[in-house]
């Protein structure tokens, strides 16, 4: 897994010592309201995420999960995932950030780096990235827009979320729109 660096952050693989931080962050009411996490989110959920889910994604080539940290040995603040879509050349993004790190541009900085790498021909090589957020999650939509994702506000589709059908918006970022080009 390639480690990505920004002026303030290191993005690398989640590790065993991150399990308590993953568990704590996934207890947050806002996170569980908008992110499709197991309910309830238990220590076993956090252990599975770090020990099995993240390594399996890398090994299978289907997805990559980066831990967001303010330094090499610092604790995890959140994660960004890039997941290969069924459509060739396309991937979807997902992310969450622990509550104390919100509102400081941390996720925007991390997403900018991940999107640039995911779209780079010498990176993951995707041509298109998708961002899906539930209708009502304005923080997510604004975050994605700030990184360059474009939304067709009239194009709402249904998704299954916590055992109910919900409306969602989809944004896209194309290679030519890459944050690296800004």
What is the percent of the chain with per-residue pLDDT over 90, rounded to a whole number? Answer: 85
The pTM of the full predicted model, rounded to 2 decimals, is: 0.92
Domains along the sequence of the chain with CATH: 4-126 (3.40.630.30)
> Per-residue pLDDT for 18 more than 70?
yes
> Per-residue pLDDT for 104 more than 50?
yes
Name 129's bridge partners.
91, 173
How confident is the model over 1-30, as a mean pLDDT?
Answer: 95
Distance CA 160, CA 168 (A): 10
Encoded tokens for 27 = 């207890």
pLDDT tens for residues 78-92?
A: 999 999 998 899 999
Q: What is the dihedral of CA 156, 161, 163, 166, to 10 degrees?
A: -20
pLDDT band at 135 (very low <50, low <70, confident <90, very high): very high
């Amino acid at each position: 897994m390639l480690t990505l660096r920004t002026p303030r952050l290191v993005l690398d693989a989640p590790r065993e010592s991150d399990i308590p931080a993953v568990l704590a962050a996934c207890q947050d009411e806002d996170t569980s309201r908008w992110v499709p996490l197991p309910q309830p989110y238990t220590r076993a959920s956090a252990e599975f995420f770090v020990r099995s889910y993240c390594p399996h994604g890398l090994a299978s080539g289907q997805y990559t999960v980066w831990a967001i940290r303010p330094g090499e040995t610092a604790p995890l603040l959140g994660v960004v995932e890039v997941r290969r879509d069924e459509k060739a050349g396309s991937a979807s993004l997902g992310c969450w950030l622990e509550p104390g790190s919100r509102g400081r541009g941390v996720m925007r900085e991390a997403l900018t780096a991940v999107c640039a790498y995911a779209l780079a021909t010498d990176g993951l090589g995707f041509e298109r990235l998708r961002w899906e957020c539930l209708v009502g999650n304005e923080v997510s939509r604004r975050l994605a827009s700030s990184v360059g994702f474009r939304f067709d506000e009239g194009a709402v589709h249904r998704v299954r979320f916590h055992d109910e059908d919900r409306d969602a918006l989809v944004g896209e970022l194309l290679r030519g729109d890459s944050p690296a080009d800004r």
